[in-house]
Amino acid sequence: MTTPDDPNAHLERQRNSAGRFERSIETAQRDARAAELRAEDWTYQQIADELGWADKSDARKAVRRAMREIVQGPAEKLLAIHMERLETLYERALDIAERQHVVVSHGQIIRGDDGKPLVDSGPELAAIREARSTLDSFWSLTGMKKPAKVEHSGGVKYELVGVDPTDLVE
């Protein structure tokens, strides 16, 4: 365990290329151990004493970090599955949009005056809408979708029509 005076304290938390602190393997293991002890009904103070933290709040934070990581792993896997599904749907929609569709009525291909089949744009437009909807779902799922900004300026003026203002005063 390291203390602030320890010359190896820098090994537990190091800055990444973006200048942010990132946890070391040792810290992650220590957090996992804190979670194990908590699951065995140890108090946060007992965990802090056992693992060398200054107080119980450090132990509580460690347990929360460990729990967040436990949930995050499966959540990231689920996110990847959903993203893959959305990518598949998007690709299928593009395939349909790129095909040439002909007008069919009562099971017969409808042809123009030149004898060529008439083009039906309906399936293409529906596929484009699906592709756009799929992208929208992808943006929402990944957090890329930004909320719309609404700006409002000025005031509101109310006007009573057909009512004499003096009739409103008692």
Q: Are strands 108-109 and 13-15 parallel, antiparallel or unpaired?
A: unpaired
pTM for this prediction: 0.47
Query: pLDDT tens string for the chain (170 positions)?
Result: 444 444 344 334 566 677 776 768 888 899 999 999 999 999 999 999 999 999 999 999 999 888 888 777 777 788 888 888 999 999 999 999 999 999 999 999 999 999 999 999 999 999 999 999 998 988 887 777 777 777 777 777 777 677 777 777 66
73 alpha carbon, distance to own chain's centre: 15
Among the listed residues 1, 20, 19, the one whose alpha carbon sits nearest the alpha carbon of residue 11:
1
The tokens of 55 are what? 């107080």
Spell out the domain ranges in the chain: 9-142
The tokens of 91 are what? 């690709």
20 alpha carbon, distance to own chain's centre: 22
d(C-alpha 59, C-alpha 124), whole Å: 58
pLDDT value at residue 16: 66
* Amino acid in the structure at residue 96: I
Any residues with CB less than 8 A from the CB of 58 and at least 6 apart, and which? Answer: 48
pLDDT value at residue 13: 52
Contact 127, 93 (CB under 8 A): yes
